[in-house]
Amino acid sequence: MLIAGPCGIESKEQAFRIAKFVKEQGATHFRGGAFKGQNYPVVNGKPEYLGLGKDAIEIQKDIQKELDFPCVCDAQSFHQAFLICTSGIKYLMVGARNMDNLALLRDIRTLYNDEPEDRKIILKRGPSSTVHEWIGAAEHLGGPDRVILCARGVVHFDRHDYTRYRLDLVGMAEVRCYHPEYKLIVDPSHGSGNRKLINVLSRCALAIADGLMIETHYEPDTSPTDAPQTIDFNEFKKIAKLYREYNEKA
């Protein structure tokens, strides 16, 4: 799996331009948040960016239909999960901040009960959660037939200069060795918070995981959320090449 797209969908033009490019390069799925939010309700004097909501879901539906490109969208509430599920967007994602919201996970499991098995739920690891808790959350969502685990960074002590979060290599190895029944993908974007590290981290990730999820934008610095970790088209081209080479060898 090579999942790529912006942190958040900003407009139909933006989403289509990115989706077309990453698909041409070999991405298997388009990502793009519909429901965003920031750590503070007011950021630099402006209200937090909340995303396009339902309009973004409509845009993803169009991408699936017009470009024949399956999409991934994350939900932070049951209402949002319901909208994503009923819209037919291929994969639902449960973001890092909700991994341990077990009541939400149980409700989402019930929501997906009658959905075909190929409609997966991507479960991010919470930044402060243990691997044991992550697997427990995955079981609440329906286990390995329904869930794809997604490693993203965990909190760490060395945040000041280079990285906001840090990918936990040992945690990924633990999943591989103790829970081989789960598919595991890696998100180096939220795994580091720094676009300069994405290429090297992707190489490491491909050695251990079943896929990558990368935040990509034609003008990363204009992204309303997660700009510092978002890569441009040129960088994505290099990662798509790595992914192709990896698949040819496999």
Task: Say if CB 127 and CB 96 are below 8 A apart.
Answer: yes
Among 120, 124, 146, 195, contact with ligand PEP (rule: CB under 6 A): 124
DSSP one-letter code for 40: S
**Is the CB of 32 or the CB of 142 nearer to Mn ion?**
32
Site for Mn ion in 7-36 (CB under 5 A): 7
Please say whether the beta carbons of 205 and 217 come within 8 A.
no
Q: Across-strand partners of 214?
A: 4
Q: Which of these ranges, 38-46, 119-127, 128-136, 224-232, lies near Mn ion under the rule CB under 5 A? A: 224-232
In whole angstroms, how close is the CB of 249 to ligand PEP at the nearest point? Answer: 28
Q: Which residue number, 3 or 68, has a Cβ lying nearer to ligand PEP?
A: 3
Q: CA 2, CA 4: separation in Å to the nearest integer? A: 6
The minimum distance between CB 219 and Mn ion, in angstroms, equals 16
Instruction: Supply the minimum distance, in Å, between the C-beta of residue 96 and Mn ion.
Output: 10
247, with CB counted inside 10 A (0-12, 13-18, 19+), is exposed
Distance, CA of 192 to CA of 129 (rounded, Å): 16
By CB under 6 A, is residue 95 in contact with ligand PEP? yes
- Identify whether the C-beta of residue 165 lies closer than 8 Å to the C-beta of residue 190: yes
Partner from ligand PEP, Mn ion, none binding residue 95, C-beta < 5-8 Å depending on class: ligand PEP
The reply on whether position 5 binds ligand PEP by CB under 6 A is no
What one-character DSSP code corresponds to residue 26? T
**Window contacting Mn ion (CB under 5 A); options: 6-14, 96-104, 125-133, 241-249:** 6-14
**Residue 173 token pair:** 């190895």
Footprint of ligand PEP on this chain (CB under 6 A)?
Answer: 7, 33, 74, 95-97, 124, 152, 190
